[in-house]
Amino acid sequence: MIDAKDYLKKMSAELDGPIKSYIGDEEPKKLMDASKQYPYAGGKRMRPAMAVACCGAVGGDKSKAVPLAVAVEYIHNFTLIHDDLMDGDKVRRGMPTIHVGYGEPTAILAGDALFAKAFQIICDLDVPAERMRDALRYISQAVWDLARGQQMDVNNEGQLVTEDVYIETIKLKTSVLFAAAAAGGAIVGGADEKTVRAINEYAIELGLGFQMFDDYLGIAGDPSKTGKSVGNDIRKGKCTCMVIHALNNIKDPAELEEFKSVLGNLDATDEQCARAKDIMEKAGSIEYGLNLARQKVDIAKSKIAFLPETEEKEFMLALADYSINREV
């Protein structure tokens, strides 16, 4: 049985060289440095690993998916740079965010530059132009959707939305790029349309499970491992599936009142946040969120059951499980 974390680490090490090879010593240096910082700093590399694995899982030459994997990682990092600026986040991967380190104009431009570079890389994929075009369709649609999802996220801030709206938001913000990486890898690997679609759906569901579990970690994770203060999402009033469930299922009016008074209250104490968590727990909301994530991952795995048994398929299944069984 493949250990997804170990396998990811191995793939990440293999992808490190390519990820560092596409931005050269052009002028102006400041823009190059700013553009390199996030992709060079590491991360889980789940998206690029997925692109390469999906290529292998359909019997393709995995080396041909490596540039696509790099492009997807650049796109992911472009969105991180712009999101950090919008959210006013100061630190990522232990370093100052780009707008803090280089100023806002350079942060905007570094994101734009990574975006452009991603498409330059895709142009040069070593596959027939028709296949390149098909992969590009998924990727460019994903970036359009990412912008929509981030705007929804901005709009949702401090709002209580329905579960459907929440799921649509995380689908656009998280799943579509996973899915473009997966579908793109399968296309580069020579898969037929039906297989590409199935792999795309696998990654959509995996992405939903991944993000729901991220929300779960935000409230029930070990802060010493996640690096996130447990009360943070509650103080910010982040509207997750768990919070939506809680608001609809807390039976005791006094507890509901108490929960509402803590949610979105930036001055809430750690004790108040812990109480809010207890109330959610009692209402079954945390279990509910976790179960929803598990359901999505089950669906994800079912979508690729038809693929032939390969190491890459095994990794794809393990990655789905890993996305809801991790400490960070």
**Could you say which of 24, 25, 26, 251 contacts a second copy (CB under 8 A)?**
26
Site membership for a second copy, residue 258 (CB under 8 A): no
Q: 81 or 290: whose CB is closer to a second copy?
A: 81
**Could you say which of 20, 90, 93, 120 contacts a second copy (CB under 8 A)?**
120
Task: Tell me how far, at minimum, the Cβ of 217 lies from a second copy, in Å.
Answer: 25
Residue 9, both tokens: 């680490």
Residue 85, both tokens: 């600026």
Task: Tell me how far, at minimum, the Cβ of 125 lies from a second copy, in Å.
Answer: 9
Cβ neighbours of residue 295 under 8 Å, at least 6 residues apart? 209
Site stretch for a second copy (CB under 8 A), options 28-36, 38-46, 194-202, 300-308: 28-36
Site membership for a second copy, residue 116 (CB under 8 A): yes
CA–CA dist 32, 52 (Å, integer): 26
Site string for a second copy, 66-105 (x = CB under 8 A): ----------------x--xx-----------------xx
CA–CA dist 7, 15 (Å, integer): 12
Q: Which of residues 144-183 bind a second copy (CB under 8 A)?
A: 144, 146-148, 150-152, 154-155
CB environment 264-299: b (16+ within 10 A), e (fewer): bbeebeeebbebbbebbeebebbebbbebbbebbeb
Side-chain half-sphere of 83: how many Cα atoms within 13 Å? Answer: 20
Task: Tell me how far, at minimum, the Cβ of 225 lies from a second copy, in Å.
Answer: 30
Q: 146 or 203: whose CB is closer to a second copy?
A: 146
Taking residue 164's Cβ as centre, other Cβ atoms within 10 Å add up to: 9
Binding positions for a second copy, rule: CB under 8 A: 26-28, 30-31, 82, 85-86, 104-106, 108-113, 115-117, 119-120, 123-124, 128-130, 132-133, 136-137, 140-141, 143-144, 146-148, 150-152, 154-155
